[in-house]
Amino acid sequence: MTRLFAGTPFDIPPMCDRCGKLEKDCKCPPPPPPRIPPQEQTARVKTEKRQKGKMVTTVSGLPKIGNDLPGLLTQLKTVCGAGGTHKDGILEIQGDHLTRVRETLSKLGYRVK
């Protein structure tokens, strides 16, 4: 390949370092967001009482960027056999599942408070 504009650094068009195409022609999917190792994070697990006396187990303290919170919620729901939601970076599992949620997070490597 011959470069038409050899000579100065400004003459090199931005290239994608994955497919080698010019950035404007690149169709690569965006890179996955960086993940923070679970070992470097502390999850706060607690139970809360909601209206009509319903208990929920909440997991907070895990940054939205750096974690696959929807994936984590799915795992916790499966382990607890319960429904749950994910809102503003806080995972919420229906019911009192303090022990199971703590165990599951510990197994994944998170520090649990």
Stretch that binds Zn ion, among 1-9, 24-32, 58-66, 72-80 (CB under 5 A): 24-32
| Residue pair 25/31 in contact by the 8 Å Cβ criterion | no
Stretch that binds Zn ion, among 13-21, 38-46, 78-86, 87-95 (CB under 5 A): 13-21
Token code pair at residue 90: 């806080």
Q: In the complex with Zn ion, which residue's Cβ is closer, 32 or 53?
A: 32
3-class DSSP state of 47: strand
Is the torsion defined by CA of 64, 36, 28, 73 positive or negative? negative
Which residue lies nearest Zn ion, judged by its C-beta?
16
Q: Give first-to-last CA distance, the chain, whole Å.
A: 58
Helix (H) or strand (E) holding 48: strand 42-49
28 near Zn ion, judged by CB under 5 A? yes
Q: In the complex with Zn ion, which residue's Cβ is closer, 12 or 19?
A: 19
19 near Zn ion, judged by CB under 5 A? yes
Residues in the site for Zn ion, rule: CB under 5 A?
16, 18-19, 26, 28
